[in-house]
Amino acid sequence: MLKQAWMMGISGVMTSRVFALVQADGAGSGALGAAPATETAAPAADISLFGYIASGGVVGWMILCLSIVAVALIIMHFVNIRRDRLMPATIVEQISQFSKVGKFQDVADFCERPENDCFYTRVVGPAVRRCLLSPFGMMEIRTALEESAQHEVDKVYRTTDGIGLIAALGPMLGLLGTTIGMIGAFGTIGKMEGATKSAQLADFMSIALVATAMGLFVAIPCTAAYTLCRRRIETIMGEATKKMEPIATLAMLHADRVRAMQKTQAAAPQSGGR
């Protein structure tokens, strides 16, 4: 009996000790579980714009540089491609006055003056000069104007090539950043463990997503600006063509008058001889 009582006493002490250890372990686990909850509940720090750009890595800074260049090109386009710069009203009026009285030599000289240099004179001047030197005279003025205008219009359209190039490069650089970020993320999954693994994985995923967003952020406005600039050029070129049409008509009439006078002069000696 004494032995059984002694054994039961030892068993009760051990049971109480185990129960105490379990309670202590549970409390510790609860404390450990509460710590991450406290960390998770803590508000995230605000990230600035440059912080987002920096999180995109080298590709993010490259896209930022492209966006600055794109803004500069768009501003230059709207400053240089304007009606009053491409075809000033005073120059158009002066050329029209010369054409009405048939002074096409004066038209060519006027267009070749450096102070009169603009899109309109670079089209009309070479075309008129070509007709003055041609045996066909002003009869080929329309063909000369079309060829001269095509050359100058191509030069004007080339001012938008840089904007279109950036609009195409933006998504490509974004895709490059995404690829670099995904490569780094998968490399992190295979090599690192624990908290270091999570931090590195977050960094590489940030590069992937931020680079993609920045590429689209640059490409979408540049695509819209490229289309708008091309449309502006088409509108201005259409107006320039309308203003050149009277010059071509007057030149054709002048050529007809000159040809009629030459026929009359050629026929006069023959009539006098008879």
Residues 6+ apart with CB under 8 A from 219: 166, 167, 168, 170, 171, 174
Domain with 137, as residue range(s), is: 53-256
- What pLDDT tens digit does each residue of the chain (274 aa) get? 434 444 434 444 444 443 343 344 444 444 434 444 334 434 444 666 666 667 677 888 888 899 999 999 999 999 999 988 999 999 999 999 998 888 889 999 999 999 999 999 999 999 999 888 888 878 888 889 999 999 899 999 998 999 999 999 999 998 888 888 888 777 777 676 665 666 777 777 777 788 888 889 999 999 999 999 999 999 999 999 898 988 888 888 877 777 777 677 666 655 555 5
Residues 6+ apart with CB under 8 A from 196: none
Burial of 87 (0-12, 13-18, 19+ CB in 10 A): buried
Residue identified by tokens 């695509």 is 223
Residue 261 falls inside a structural domain: no
Dihedral, CA of residue 204, residue 209, residue 211 and residue 216, to nearest 10: 170
Q: Provide the pLDDT for residue 137.
A: 78
How far CA 127 is from CA of 113, 121, 143, 258, 274, in Å, comes to: 15, 10, 8, 19, 42
Residue 127 and residue 145: Cα distance in Å, rounded?
5
Residue 219 falls inside a structural domain: yes
Residue 31 falls inside a structural domain: no
Domains contained in the chain, number: 1
Question: Percentages helix, strand, coil for the chain, rounded to the nearest 5?
Answer: 90, 0, 10
Residue 246 · residue 145 · CB < 8 Å:
no
Residue 196 falls inside a structural domain: yes
Residue 24 falls inside a structural domain: no
Dihedral, CA of residue 107, residue 108, residue 114 and residue 119, to nearest 10: 80
Assigned token pair, 67: 């966006």
Q: Provide the pLDDT for residue 11.
A: 42
Residue 2 falls inside a structural domain: no
Residue 11 falls inside a structural domain: no
Helices (H) and strands (E) in the chain, counts: 10, 0
Residue 36 falls inside a structural domain: no
